[in-house]
Amino acid sequence: MTRGWLGVQAQPVTTGIADSLGMKKAEGAMVDEPQNGSPAAKSGVQSGDVITALNGTPVKDSRDLSRKVAALAPGRSVELDILRNGKSKTLTITLGELPNRKQANAENRETRPDSGSPHIGLRLRLRMRWLVPAVRVLLSRPSIRMAPPRNTASNPAMSSLMLAAKRS
């Protein structure tokens, strides 16, 4: 069985990343890095691109993208809708063939996430230029504060704590 191969390391788009990029929904697959010599790299896919659709079908997340690409035959041309620097763009890419070794590694990672592969860390890594705006969005949200329980009489420790607070 041969599977299509795009050649990108991608991660899901979180709400923080979507906010920082001005996206309405947290959907798509954000490219960490196109692999050297891959069909994606040859076609101009860059780090930070958000893949939003494959052949006109929306991409939910990085796993959805992987499944859709793997279901296609190598050598087939596909259209990738991407978001780059706030602008939509469509790239036409001819899929490569997923080599057997890479296919076996991908299957092992899906069944055993703790396989120790050095590539797992790449999926979780955020580039600094995308992390800083996401952190700013998170820090701008109001903080959550805990309120004391309403019925302190049933809890002797809380009753004495509240009395001590009233005295001071």
Least confident span in 25-29, 41-45, 76-80, 139-143? 139-143
pLDDT in tens, 70-92: 999 999 999 999 999 889 999 99
Mean pLDDT computed over every residue of the chain: 75
User: For the purposes of burial, counting CB atoms within 10 Å of the CB of 43, is it exposed (0-12), middle (13-18) or buried (19 or more)?
Assistant: middle
Domain membership flag for residue 83: yes
Domain membership flag for residue 100: yes
Please report, for the domain that includes residue 49, its CATH number: 2.30.42.10
How far is 98 from 124, CA to CA, in rounded Å? 22
pLDDT above 80: residue 139: no
How far is 71 from 59, CA to CA, in rounded Å? 14
Q: Which domain holds residue 84?
A: 4-140
pTM value is: 0.60
Domain membership flag for residue 157: no
Total structural domains within the chain: 1
